[in-house]
Amino acid sequence: MFASGRERTTSQVTSYRHNPWMAKTRRGASGPLRWTMAALSVVLWAAAEAPAALQNPGFDDGGGSLASWTTFNNVIPNVLAAPITPRSGTHVAKVFGAFSGTTNWSGIYQSLPTTAGQVWTVECHVRHNTGDALAGANELAVKIEFYSVAGGVWGSSDFLGETVLPVLDNASPRNTWLGRSVQATAPAGTVEARVALVFTQEGDAAGAALVDDVSFTADGEPPVLDAWRLLWHDEFENPTVDPGKWRIEDLHLIKNNELQYYAPDEVYVENGDLVLRSRQRTYWGFDSDGNWGRYDYTSGLVETRDRFAHTFGRIEIRAILPWTQGMWPAHWMLPSSGTWPPEIDIMEMVGHAPQAVYMTHHWGVWPDVQSDGGVYIGPVFAADYHTFGVEWQPGRLDWYVDGQVRFTSQTEVPTEPFYLILNTAVGGTWPGSPDGTTVFPQYHRIDYARWFVRGVRGDITGDHVVDDADIAAFGDCMAGPNATPSPVSGIHCVACTTTFDFDGDDDVDLEDYAALQALYAD
């Protein structure tokens, strides 16, 4: 949310699967909660067969080369491995135009076998440098392509479809490695998935794109041997915002050239949602430097600063996002120490591109701030509720959208307590100002915010030990083999249908009890 430099992105819609984590439903406008079978469960995923791996992802093989990659329209040559400001290792892929006088395309690709239904993710870092920066309409795009035969020909009957994400153009920040990610699902009939990095040159415009550290992976659901335990949450079922959980901002924050005043009356609870409303209206108030001023827009910000902070966990927010030109919704986190950086951005979206959500984290020492992040192109996130989350653990950050990993970083992962911030900015360097296409008011509707922590598999009582109390808790929730659990007394009346389902078959029975006994014996 502090960062302001972002790239234009357009893409076909990539598919996603239903979020397996718990969801909240209501009877009427604000009736009682119920938890789905996935809530607080021990998740036992079946490990998928490992696909073939991408070769020479950093272009360092053989002392620097494009080995294992296929080039196209490499006529000058204008596609090569070069020792130019590598992000890691010694070389990068350098791609530029063919200077043919007409629009031309050049680049590299590599293919891997797949089956229909596999979700493929490309992650890479891109860059252009002062002195050879992209000019005109030149741009670099990342593509995932699918083919019905091995070695398929693009544009022929072999070609089944593609997802395209422009990742670098003349407006992109220079001299900086930018993390990018795109994801797509293999359609029926697919036998081969291909990652391609495509440079478009128009009118002999100058500049070269650099690429490093490419990964191309299919989804696999590895075994998870421990459980998530709900540590802190707000379902917004009370009629007003809980001041014990949230601090409501009343200030204009001077950052990113944003235009809004964060006004308390733009934050309220309605029908079980936290609502952050954004309006165009005249408002007077103080800024973060103590100056009194007039503002043309108001919006809402809540945070758990001085209320709740924690190190590591799975943080998850379900929301409908505001959109149209100039809107900038975000779910993000800052350290409770008050320093910046670091920062973890769970989700950011700019209103003119409502199908793209950005996932980033920042580190370093000001002004030498560095970032790693990705963008996921999906459905229109302003049209319905979607779940945005991050799993933060030592040495690793995994970002989720609708229950699927969309980006991963293992670089400079923070290890201090963070608090949660939910807000909508109006205007700013990245989204730009509202214009004649902007619709007001806008509503950022948040269904819930939840913070989970790792538990121990089989630790039903949450004391991080599998002991007699857990065995007793299982018996308390069990009505009988292959029967719907109906606790008659005791401690786990809400979660017994989920916490006790060790084999993941949505049925709590004697097989689950045997699994718990085995853990207890260990």
Distance CA 199, CA 222 (A): 35
Other beta carbons within 10 Å of 390? 24
pLDDT over 90 (residue 121): no
Q: What is the pLDDT of residues 387-412, one digit of tens each?
A: 999 999 888 899 999 988 899 998 89
Taking CB atoms within 8 Å and a gap of at least 24, the contacts of 153-159 are: none
Average pLDDT, integer, range 490-501: 48
Predicted confidence at residue 453, as pLDDT, reads 79
pLDDT over 60 (residue 498): no
Distance CA 421, CA 346 (A): 10
Confidence (pTM): 0.53
Predicted confidence at residue 522, as pLDDT, reads 57
391/23: higher pLDDT: 391
Per DSSP, the residues of 8-36 read: ----PPPP-----S--B--STTT----B-
Q: Choose among 122, 173, 170: nearest CA to 146.
A: 122
Q: pLDDT tier at 467 (50, 70, 90 boundaries)?
A: confident
Distance CA 169, CA 437 (A): 25
Domains and CATH numbers, the chain: 61-218 (2.60.120.260), 228-454 (2.60.120.200), 468-521 (no CATH)
| Largest CA-CA distance found in the chain, in angstroms, rounded | 79
**Which of 7-11, 209-213, 314-318 is the least confident region?**
7-11
Write out the E strands in 103-259. Answer: 104-113, 119-127, 139-147, 159-169, 178-185, 192-201, 208-218, 228-234, 247-248
Do residues 398 and 224 touch, judged by C-beta distance below 8 A?
no
Is 162 assigned a catalytic role?
no
Catalytic residue among 7, 266, 348, 391: 348
pLDDT over 70 (residue 507): no
Q: Give bridge partners of residue 14 from the DSSP assignment.
A: none
Q: What is the pLDDT of residues 52-69, one digit of tens each?
A: 688 999 999 999 999 999
Average pLDDT, integer, range 342-354: 97
**CA 500 centroid distance within chain:** 29
**Which of 117-121, 342-346, 461-465 is the least confident region?**
461-465
Is 416 assigned a catalytic role?
no
Cβ neighbourhood burial of 42 (10 Å; 0-12, 13-18, 19+): buried
> What number of CA atoms fall less than 13 Å from residue 314's CA on the CB side?
18
Q: What is the 3-state secondary structure (H, E, C) of 414-472?
A: CCCCEEEEEEEEEECCCCCCCCCCCCCCEEEEEEEEEEEEECCCCCCCCCCCCCHHHHH
What is the rounded end-to-end Cα distance, in angstroms, of the chain?
46
Q: What is the pLDDT of residues 220-244, one digit of tens each?
A: 533 333 557 677 889 998 999 999 9
Q: Which tokens hold the place of 254?
A: 């001077």
Catalytic residue among 270, 343, 391, 416: 343
Q: pLDDT tier at 455 (50, 70, 90 boundaries)?
A: low
Do residues 142 and 214 touch, judged by C-beta distance below 8 A?
no
Which amino acid appears at position 306 of this protein?
A: D
Other beta carbons within 10 Å of 155? 7
Q: What is the pLDDT of residues 71-117, one digit of tens each?
A: 999 999 999 999 999 999 999 999 999 999 999 999 999 999 888 88
